[in-house]
Structure 1
Amino acid sequence: MLFLFQDPLGDDQGLAYLYPRAALFREAGEGYADLLALAGEAREGRLHLRVRLARYPNPLGGPLGFSLATVVLWLDTEEGGEEVLVPGLRTPPGEGWNLAFVLTGFGAEGRTPEGERTPVRAWREGEWVVLDTGLPPEAYGYYGGVGLFDPFAPWYLRPTTPEGGPWTLGAPPGSPPLVDLLAEDPRAQVRAYESGLLPPLRPQGFAWRPESLLAFALGGVSLLLAFLLRKR
């Protein structure tokens, strides 16, 4: 394991966003767009990213075992890059993204700032969804967010409207179409929504050390407890 970023449980409401009112979403319950963790590991010289959501309802029959959430990961792999993540959300100046990955229950794709799209291999491993980035495992910066799946929308993210509706999120004008952001500190997520600026998370080092192993083990325990609490 190269790194593990944990995200708080139960913070998938944006800034008091209203979820769509259609029965499809009401019957799914809570937590299906709640990001719990992003992890990275090296396999055969390539970076694999592992995503953990709180729950995986699948009313639309997605082959990856879920169908209501869209996860977007943006990577800062080199200098420069695009600073707009989605409408209403940007990177800090000079820390733009160079490659993004869009993950839904129906597959994954890589995207460039120029709009090029490439299919990416993704699969389930228990409660984790894994994708093969094809990149060498280096110290990149990571931005992440989760929204509601819409096959016809940009980034496959269901849009927001001030009043909400059966098929749209209710949110203040200019809000990003993401109900959860990758942020280890809950206060950092609130600041990101309020400012429209999301700082990247950056691994501190790749080498396994005894203290790293203990931290990962404790992280696994906390994720298990979060999953069990969410199911109650």
Structure 2
Amino acid sequence: MIPLLFSDPVGDDYGLGYVYPRTALFAEAGFADLTGFEALRNGDKVVLRVRLHRYPNPSNAPHGFSLATIGIYIHTEAGGNEELPGAGFKTPAGQGWNWAYLLTGWKAEEYQPGGTVQAVPVVKNGDWLELSPNLPPGDYGYYVAVGLYDPFTPWHFRPIRPGGGTWTIDGPAGAPAAVDVLSQSQIQAYQRGVLPPVRAIQNRIPWAVLSAAMGVLFILLAFRFPRR
């Protein structure tokens, strides 16, 4: 398994130009702003790490935050569920999720497409939330989405509706409920309603470019300073 680390820009937690609910509880910015995601190997298991910009906890939830909902959906093999429940996106064809992890201030759970649900250990380590699922290492595809916490929806993502409301997000009809996602092109993902997975191979591209550049540099130096 190749370690995976992605950063996400600060301040892009508004989906398709969403307006947050009017209640004062959601007035403070940054609590649903995804800024980082890691998938690491720890022995024969995977550790998943998520970072948000801020962690306000007005409800004193045991995990140290109470206003956001985080969904991590993992494509491990062909097929899978092509709907990302709660987040409201679809996956590309044939790249559905086989495992999903739902994290709120009160619970962390593992889901399988067949309906199996079980608790997963989670700790807050500095600015990171760390999940330790019973998942073997592999070069998987990951979908990561953050929404506003809602205790009354099955996956705890607060819904979207035109005009919004005191407790409802204002946005286009049928728009995804996630306000921030991990994506190479977030605008395109929201416009299409399809969220491509992120993979470790994407993190190797800069190194390939660097390697090629170094090769060119060595060739130029060889011509500039020929051996005698």
TM-score scaled by length of structure 2 = 0.85
Query: Is residue 8 from structure 1 mapped to residue 9 from structure 2 by the alignment?
Result: yes
Name the CA distance, whole Å, in 2 between partners of 1:182 and 1:79. Answer: 21
Matches within 5 A, 1:83-98: 83-86=82-85, 88-98=88-98
Matches within 5 A, 1:94-173: 94-173=94-173
Helix, strand or coil at the partner of 1:24: helix
Shift of 1:57: 0.3
Name the CA distance, whole Å, in 1 between partners of 2:135 and 2:202. Answer: 17
| Equivalent residue, structure 2, for 1:33 | 32
Tell me if the contact between 1:107 and 1:121 (Cα under 8 Å) persists in the aligned partners: no
Tell me if the contact between 2:15 and 2:180 (Cα under 8 Å) persists in the aligned partners: yes
AA aligned to 2:15 is G
After superposition, give the CA deviation of every residue in 1:14-72 in whole Å (9 maximum; x if it has no partner): 0110101112112xx11100000100112232100010000000001111110000000
Helix, strand or coil at the partner of 1:193: helix
Name the CA distance, whole Å, in 1 between partners of 2:89 and 2:39. Answer: 24
| Equivalent residue, structure 2, for 1:79 | 78
AA aligned to 1:193 is Y
Matches within 5 A, 1:213-224: none
Name the CA distance, whole Å, in 2 between partners of 1:148 and 1:52. Answer: 15
Where in structure 2 are there 5+ consecutive unaligned residues?
209-228
Name the CA distance, whole Å, in 1 between partners of 2:132 and 2:175. Answer: 30
Name the CA distance, whole Å, in 2 between partners of 1:134 and 1:19. Answer: 35
Tell me if the contact between 1:75 and 1:143 (Cα under 8 Å) persists in the aligned partners: yes
Name the CA distance, whole Å, in 1 between partners of 2:108 and 2:120. Answer: 5
Shift of 1:206: 10
Name the CA distance, whole Å, in 1 between partners of 2:148 and 2:179. Answer: 8
TM-score scaled by length of structure 1 = 0.84
Runs of at least 4 residues off by over 3 Å: none
Structure with larger Rg: 2
May I ask how many residue pairs the two structures share in their alignment? 204
| Equivalent residue, structure 1, for 2:216 | none
Give the RMSD, CA atoms, in angstroms: 1.9
Where in structure 1 are there 5+ consecutive unaligned residues?
213-232
Name the CA distance, whole Å, in 1 between partners of 2:175 and 2:85. Answer: 10
Name the CA distance, whole Å, in 2 between partners of 1:110 and 1:21. Answer: 32
Shift of 1:205: 8.8
When structure 1 is superposed on structure 2, of 109-118 and 135-144 the one drifting more is 109-118
Name the CA distance, whole Å, in 1 between partners of 2:17 and 2:203. Answer: 36
Among 184, 188, 192, which residue is 1:191 paired with? 188
Tell me if the contact between 1:2 and 1:39 (Cα under 8 Å) persists in the aligned partners: yes
Percent of residue pairs identical:
48
Tell me if the contact between 1:2 and 1:206 (Cα under 8 Å) persists in the aligned partners: no
